[in-house]
Amino acid sequence: MFQKSMLLIVPILLIGSLLFGSMAIGQPLATETNMKNSKIVQCPISTTQPDTFALCATATCWTLDGVAYCKCNIMNEKSISISFNYEENGQSKDVCNLLLDGNNNGFTISTYATPRQIEADYNPETEKLGPPMGYYTCLTKSSPQAYGAQCDGGVCFNSTQGKDFPGLGHINEGEIVCSCPPTLSSSPGFQIAGPWNCKPGDANENNQCCDQDYYNDMCTVTSVKSTGTILAVSAPIGGAKALSTILDGKLPSLNSCHFK
């Protein structure tokens, strides 16, 4: 059973970083600074409301005129997000209201839940969600800073399902395209999802489970001016574990890659 609307002010020590920011109508980008000072909400608002949302945490994106378009997954479970408070017709609303409005109006919103493919106990043979993945930590020790796409609160349109989209290929019925702003990382860096070339949960002492080429490509995107730039959805370091801990009630064990 889902909990009723639950606004949580996350302690700064837990969030030292939070998660995948976005392009939501009339709302500020979910930068690291905004996240530290923002309320967090779990959706859906009640057990009688739909729990559909877009999960972009493992997505890669294609840019057009400075906007990143990301191929995300449609999910049906509880999720978590910055609250993105706004007022409409004299009523105070947040991202859960946006999700609810989208169910009957051809769109949804990108929020967050722990991606099973990244968890150490994921079983690709029985769960069939694709190959295992891991979180890559991209360090930005010196300029120039690198870009990632941030998608929490991103607007996603149902009309993209079952169609072909430039740079992203075919969008399956269980997928959707979300629009997200490319965002420069802040020190010390950010995290992205990428290939995990071992069994889920395997020790990764020498980064043998990780893809150096993927890291080199996705952690060093320093310009998004050219249409067709490929980049990964990103989060400040520690963001995924922070939100997963709040949502799932426990600290998850995730596959992790740390190149120096």
Domain boundaries, the chain: 6-257
- Torsions phi, psi for 145 (to 5 deg): -70, 160
- Torsions phi, psi for 43 (to 5 deg): -120, 155
What's the confidence (pLDDT) of residue 143?
A: 61
Q: Are 11 and 2 in contact (CB under 8 A)?
A: no
CA distance 120 to 132: 9
The encoded tokens of residue 260 equal 């120096």
CA distance 241 to 179: 24
What's the confidence (pLDDT) of residue 130?
A: 94
What's the confidence (pLDDT) of residue 28?
A: 35
What's the confidence (pLDDT) of residue 219?
A: 94
What's the confidence (pLDDT) of residue 186?
A: 78
Phi-psi region of 100 (alpha: psi -120 to 50; beta: other; left: phi over 0): alpha
The encoded tokens of residue 6 equal 């639950």
Which residues of the chain have a pLDDT value below 50? 1-34
The single residue listed with the structure tokens 């990108």 is 110
Q: Are 113 and 152 in contact (CB under 8 A)?
A: no
